[in-house]
Amino acid sequence: MASLRALSIQDIESLAIGAWILGTGGGGSPYYGLLNMRRLYGEGVRVGLLDAAALADDDLVAVVSQMGAPLVGQERLTDPRTIARAVTMMEEYLGTTFRAVMAVEIGGSNAIQPLMAAALLNRPVVDADAMGRAFPEAQMTSFAIHDLPMAPLTLADIRDNSVIVQRAASWKWMERLSRKVCVEVGSIAATCKAPRTGKDVKDCAILGTTSKAIRIGQAVQDARRAHRDPVEAVLAAEGGLLLFGGKVQDVSRRTTEGFLRGRAVLEGLDELKGQRFELAFQNEFAVGWLDEVPRVMTPDLICVMDSVSGEAVGTETLRYGQRVRVIALPAPPVLMTPKGLEHVGPRAFGYDLEFRSVFSPEGGFSSDAGSAPLPNLPPRLRGQSPRSNADRSP
C-alpha cells in the first residue's frame, strides 16, 4: 500500500458515516465538516492520507480538534480557516513547520477537522488518532496514557482571538484552562494540541483509524445500496459483536459538570422479547447492562445504530420508541492496558466495575444475541447495577 493516498470525496462521505458510528454516541455529527469538504473538493482542493509509518522520527505532527458544545456548532457551523489558524499559530509559536495534521478523536465531528486544516495548509492527514473513538475528556487519549506532555496548546476563535496555553500542571489543568477559554469565546473553539513527533505518533498514537472509519462507512453504504443489513455489514467488516436489538423505552438525561449524562433503557424485540438492556452515558455510551448484569463497558466501543438504516444514534438523539441495535467494536489495545484503563476504563467514568472486554475469550459471550441463549456472567463481572432514573424527563 502506498504510504500516501489521495482521498476522494466518496472516501470523505464514508468517513463521515464511519466517524459518527465510532463516536459511540458522542462527538457531534460530522455533517457540517462534510459540507465544508464537499465545497473544498468542489473548488479542486484535495487531501492526502499518510500512513504513519511514512513519518520520520523527527517530523512534527499537528493534532487538532474543535472543542465545545455540539449544539453551538449547529448555529456557528465550522470553518476550515479557524482550525487551520490554530495550526499556524502553533507553528509560529514553535518556529517550525508541521509535516502533517492528525485527529485527536476519530469519533464524530472531529474526524473531519484535520482534513479541513490539511486542505487549507496543503499538508497530508496522518491515518491515526489518539482515541480510536470519542471520549469526553482531554486526558482520555493514548498520548496521555503514554505520559506525553500536554502543552503547549493553541486555541483559535472565529474573531481575532488567539490563546496559547504554554504550560499546564497536569492534563486536568489543561482541560480546565482550555475549557474556560472555550466557554468565553462562545463554547466553541479550534484547538491544536501539544505537537507530536513522528516517533510519538508511531509509538503512541492509535494507527489506521482514519481508514478504519472510511471502511466502516463504506460497509454501511455498500449494504444500503445492495439492500443488505448495514449493521451486519459493520459487524462483519470490523469483527464486532451484536449485543442487543430492541426498542428505546426510556431516556433520562442531565447535565453535570458540563457533560451530558444519562441512561437509556431498551426493551428486547423478537427473540429478545422480555429482556432488557440498559445503557449509561457520559456524552458517549460508557456501560451497558443486560438484565441488570454488566454486559459491555468502556473502553470497548458501544455503538447504538438504527436497526434499519444503520445510522448511528447519538446520546443526544436517542429517543423513546426508536428501534435500535447495540453493537460492540473492539477497543484499541492501548486503552485496555492497566494504565489505559486508569484513563478510560469504567472506573474513570465512576462505575465500580472490573473491566472485561466482550471480546476477551474468558468472557465467553455469545456472538449472536439474536438467537443463542446468553450465558450467565461470572460473579466477578457483576458490578453495580443500574440506578433508578430519578430525574426522568416527562
Beta carbon of residue 316, minimum distance to another protein (angstroms, whole number): 7
User: Distance of CA 262 to CAs 354, 385, 388, 393, Å?
Assistant: 21, 14, 11, 11
**242 φ, ψ to 5°?**
-80, 125
Which one, 321 or 373, has the nearer CB to another protein?
321
| From 197-205, 246-254, 294-302, 327-335, span contacting another protein (CB under 8 A) | 246-254
Looking at the Cβ atoms of 148 and 185, the one nearer to another protein is 185
Among 271, 299, 295, 305, smallest CA distance to 286 is for 299
Contacts of residue 115, Cβ cutoff 8 Å, sequence gap at least 6 = 7, 12, 15, 33, 37, 47, 125
d(CA 86, CA 135): 21
Considering the complex, state which of residue 244 and residue 355 has its C-beta at the smaller distance from another protein: 244
CB closer to another protein, 35 vs 148: 35
Nearest approach, Cβ of residue 37 and another protein (Å):
10
Query: Counting contacts by CB under 8 A, is residue 183 touching another protein?
Result: yes
Burial (0-12, 13-18, 19+ Cβ within 10 Å), 321? exposed
Check if the beta carbon of residue 344 is closer than 8 Å to that of residue 138: no
Angle at 32 between CA 29 and CA 34, to 5 degrees: 95
Least distance from C-beta 352 to another protein, angstroms?
Answer: 24
The residue count for binding another protein (CB under 8 A) is: 52
CA-to-CA distance for 206 and 135, rounded, in angstroms? 14
Alpha helices in 125-193 (DSSP H): 142-145, 171-184
Asked if 29 is part of the footprint of another protein (rule: CB under 8 A), the reply reads: yes
Among 293, 320, 339, 385, binds another protein (CB under 8 A): 320
Please provide the size of the chain in residues: 394
Out of 30, 114, 310, 340, which residue is the one contacting another protein (CB under 8 A)?
310
- Direct distance between the N- and C-terminal alpha carbons of the chain, in angstroms, rounded to an integer: 54
The DSSP code sequence of 7-33 is EPHHHHHHHHHHHHHHTTT-S--THHH
* Site map (CB under 8 A) of another protein, residues 94-123, x = contact: ------------------------------
Question: What part of residues 343-362 is at the interface with another protein (CB under 8 A)?
Answer: none
Segment interacting with another protein (CB under 8 A) among 6-14, 104-112, 183-191, 375-383: 183-191
Q: For the CB of residue 306, give the shortest distance to another protein in the complex, in Å.
A: 5
In the complex, what is the shortest distance from the CB of residue 288 to another protein, in angstroms, rounded to a whole number?
A: 20
Which of residues 145 and 279 has its CB atom nearest to another protein in the complex?
279
259 belongs to the binding site for another protein (CB under 8 A)? yes
**Per rule CB under 8 A, is residue 77 in the interface with another protein?**
yes
Q: Please report, as a single letter, which amino acid is at residue 224.
A: R
Q: Of 126-165, which residues contact another protein (CB under 8 A)?
A: 158-159
Smallest distance from the beta carbon of 133 to another protein, in angstroms?
Answer: 17
CB neighbour class for 70 (10 Å; exposed up to 12, middle 13-18, buried from 19): buried
> Peptide bond before 379: cis, by omega within 30 degrees of 0?
no
253 makes contact with another protein (CB under 8 A): yes
Out of 215, 224, 228, 382, the residue judged to bind another protein by CB under 8 A: 224
Contact residue for another protein among 146, 228, 247, 347 (CB under 8 A): 247
Residue 54 Cβ, how far from another protein at the closest point, in Å? Answer: 30
DSSP annotation of 44? T
Query: Where does this chain bind another protein (CB under 8 A)?
Result: 26, 29, 32, 35-36, 39, 68-72, 74-81, 158-159, 183, 186-187, 224, 247, 249, 253-255, 258-260, 267, 283, 306, 308-311, 313-314, 316-317, 319-323, 391, 393-394
